[in-house]
A = this chain, B = another copy of it.
């Protein structure tokens, strides 16, 4: 007789996610625009008629909701056959930790952050979503490693960077890591957050957009930005 413990969330997460297109939006550094790009890519894919779920996996500093105009202190998450994503439009859903913490500070150590993300993905009602876009924490951390173990064999991994030397140095290491982890489906996005003016060769480029800040919080205004236009081209490549 043998006794061992198992996490009941893994099998369900793997099964549900292997049936859908999963996009991990990652980056070696913070502040490179991972969250902005997650949101804009979700909008662009929904405009192409796809049903998209935005997952905020940056559980210790969730802010995807700021971009899409969700006030986590006001929404009340539902549940029926599972945790129900908030529906922004009939083709965009959102799920994250912020609605459950009422946007209060929530320090989580690495293994605890992994637990929180597994809980969201493990108990979710995936009903009808074709694209699952997961916005990840900055850099290499427990949550990112866990998400790669769970989905890295089929997910598209978007690696966001800026043209700065600081970011490019980090990105070189990050790309080498993805290779060690046998992640093959990788797209580089160079996003000029700082306004350096350089762009990358083998990558999608997103220009510096001085009007983005004013558009945050409104899906309508976001769709009129230059940054969105650049991401529309990324969406075309992702969803041909």
A174 touches B210 (CB 8 A): no
A36: which B residues are within 8 A, CB to CB?
Answer: 166
* A-side interface mostly: loop
B170 touches A63 (CB 8 A): yes
A213 touches B193 (CB 8 A): no
Nearest CB of B to A9, in Å: 18
Most central of A63, A104, A180 by chain B CB within 10 Å = A63
Most central of A103, A105, A111, A139 by chain B CB within 10 Å = A105
Q: A169 within 8 Å of B by Cβ?
A: yes
Q: Tell me, in angstroms, the Cα distance from A103 to B232 when the chains sit together.
A: 35
Q: A216 within 8 Å of B by Cβ?
A: yes
Interface bits A154-180 vs B (CB < 8 Å: 1, else 0): 000000001011100110011011001
Q: Tell me, in angstroms, the Cα distance from A111 to B111 when the chains sit together.
A: 8
A111 touches B110 (CB 8 A): yes
A105 touches B174 (CB 8 A): yes
Q: Tell me, in angstroms, the Cα distance from A166 to B196 when the chains sit together.
A: 21
B110 touches A141 (CB 8 A): yes
A166 touches B67 (CB 8 A): yes
B169 touches A63 (CB 8 A): yes
Nearest CB of B to A13, in Å: 19
Give the contact stretch, choosing among A26-34, A41-49, A77-85, A125-133: A26-34
B177 touches A105 (CB 8 A): yes
A107 touches B31 (CB 8 A): no
A141 touches B60 (CB 8 A): yes
Q: A142 within 8 Å of B by Cβ?
A: yes
Partner of A32, one of B31, B108, B137, B142: B31
12 A-B pairs (CB sep. < 8 Å)? A29-B30, A29-B138, A30-B31, A60-B139, A61-B139, A66-B166, A104-B176, A109-B110, A137-B138, A138-B139, A193-B193, A195-B195
- CB within 8 Å of B: which residues of A? 28-32, 35-36, 58, 60-61, 63, 66-67, 103-111, 113, 137-142, 145, 162, 164-166, 169-170, 173-174, 176-177, 180, 193-196, 208, 210, 213, 216-217
